[in-house]
Structure 1
Amino acid sequence: MIHILSQRTRDIVKSTAPVLEQHGTTITTVFYRNMFEAHPELLNIFNHANQSQGRQQTALANAVYAAAVHIDNLENILPAVVQIANKHVSLGIKPEHYPIVGKYLLGAIKEVLGDAATDEILDAWKEAYGVIADAFIGVEANMYKEAREQENGWNFFKPFIVARKVQESDIITSFYLKPADHSNVPAYQAGQYISLRVSIPGEKYTMIRQYSLSQASKPDEFRISVKREADNDPNGMVSVYLHNQVNEGDTVEVSPPAGEFVLDATKTTPVAFISGGVGITPMISMLGTVATATPERPTVFLHAARNESLAAFRADVENHATSMSNLKHQIFYATEPNGFITQEVLESYVDTTGDAYVCGPVPFMEAMIRSLRALGMKEEQIHYEFFGPAIQISE
């Protein structure tokens, strides 16, 4: 439950929405710059690539604007709070970080807006930020408690050994991870992710990245499958390090499973898994879960890859197919005729009375979701997740 603000505070905050829409990214850019100058230790937590590419600034600006728009009913932003809170818990965000963020966010509003940011406006935003921060802290406290108290659970980061390293395609490699203390791992839901924290030689700060768990839950190990990004891609530093320098027997730090993009494994109604590129990683976990838990379930597995050398998990799909009585699966290669998942393809494969799970590059996902909607699927039937800061799909 989110604490109710006074009507006057809500009116003031809501009145700032047009200004935030116009200047939001400038404000959040100034915010991050000033906060990191004063608290460089926070660079051990934040994704430097998202910072350099402006993605994190845009995501935060959108979140602040959404808070202003929905200030009369902050319950409307609770789903976003839960999604972001999962990410925060995976990164190890703590309650003491919130006052720091609040201080520099208000300072950035004042710096960018100047005299337009009156004391009345700043006081209203200070109160609103306090309420929203308390909501995050409360949600995250429950998540930390659940992660800590589940069997084999823990909080923050724990050493894991790379037990096996397996190449899945020309650009995707799987890492099988086992706890360094020889304990088992907690059960997780298909679709969840873990964070890896690494110290790369020559880099001042640790780096954290989220990776989907790419196999159905097993008691003794996690598997992640990492796409190697280009050497000159700022977002690729960790993936290149994992591919080139992390070997079997090496240690990485891992946070507990998190995330809301999960398979409802209790259902037996039709389900379709639709992925592009490395978006296959949570889908292969979901497929494996269906193969184990409900092998009779009518299932469709469609995957799009640029070419055959880049397509991962073909053997996994074939292996799961042997235990499933009602699976239709197809891999589409962009280099071949009819090599794309079109609306016509979806119409021929997908039972629109069931559920669809979609993951992949943003343009791919936008096309798939619009096509599924055009075929009559409702919002609650279509489940999707973007990798990286949250993005909205327009109608």
Structure 2
Amino acid sequence: MLKRYKLMMKIIFLCSAIFFLSSKSFSNVLATTYEPAKPPKILSFTASSNKIKAGDSITLSWYVLNATKVEISGIDNLDYELSPISGGLKVTPSETTTYYLTASSEGGTVQASITVAVEKSSPDFFNIDYFYGSESEISLGETVTLYWKTTNAKSITIIGLEKINEELTSLPLSGELEVFPMETTDYILIAVGENYEIIYKIFTVTVAEEKKPAKINNFSTSASKINKGESVILLWDVSEAKSVTISGYPTDYLPLNGKLTVTPKKTTTYVLEAIGYDGVTVKKEVTVTVIESNVEDPLKLDYVVHDWGDEYIMDVDITNLSNDTVDYWSLLLKKSEFDISIIWGATLSENDEYYIISPLYYNDIIKPGVTVSFGFQAYDSPKKNFFYEFLLD
């Protein structure tokens, strides 16, 4: 019996010890794992301005600690959650407003406020608050959006709108409009007040011209072949160029179209260069052949013209300047420069490009220093510097 009693006491003691130790360990676990949430703290809640005029905007800014959610009262149609730490929000109060910032978490809720005073305009105050465009410089073909806002205006008009917008019978007192300027344009917004006073603002849109390449329409000469000592006329016509030059002519600038008399001493190639507004240089060249008389042409041609207006007679003398006898000669004239109807003292034949004038039996041989003659009648007016060439056997 005594043994059973001792055994029961041991069991009771062990159970008590186990319960005591288990309770103490659980308390320690609770003590080490549970920590209450910290309350949120609003470090700052400010406005970019505490006093504004009606229609102006301000930015609300905040900086918060230990918050899981931030809300600001007095703001409508906000479709996103505000940052619980820091942020900024642009608002346009229509009247004096007190904004309340509420920061909350499991640790509690705190609140801060700020008041923005809105100064409403006087009924007598009349103004164009702004008038500007999305761009002030564009390329041809691009569009611009005009923006404007007025205060206490009765009506507005914008001068300078294109035909596509001219059908607008009225414009809102504040608004926007897309325009299509085809050239540099001054848009003028005119506002009329309640007492019919008028104010205006101007916004200019500069339209850059298309950078077009230069084009050489013509570069030619009055004659492609001349005798030494004679002159020739260079003619040119250029468009869309910011500069024109001709090689061998001492100037850095020539007009877009013109003519120039030159007397080359030898066969010369003239090069016309035109620089376009796109910065690209285009070129064209012409060659004037100079015939050395003492080498190629022992014969000299002189002439006298009797001009009647729409017809003329040309008396021609041919002189042998060399020391040798010319046994036979013929003369080439360009058909593009002459329209011969009658000839005397010579015979006339032709091909596609030239008249061929040949001597008769009595003037086919020209001794040194001797002159022979012939003449012809032609239509239109004579050319001052015309092409000719002797063919000798």
Question: TM-score band, normalised by the shorter chain?
Answer: under 0.3
Greater RCO, CA 8 A, separation 6+: 1
Structure whose residues are more often helix by fraction? 1
TM-score with structure 1 setting the length: 0.20
TM-score with structure 2 setting the length: 0.20
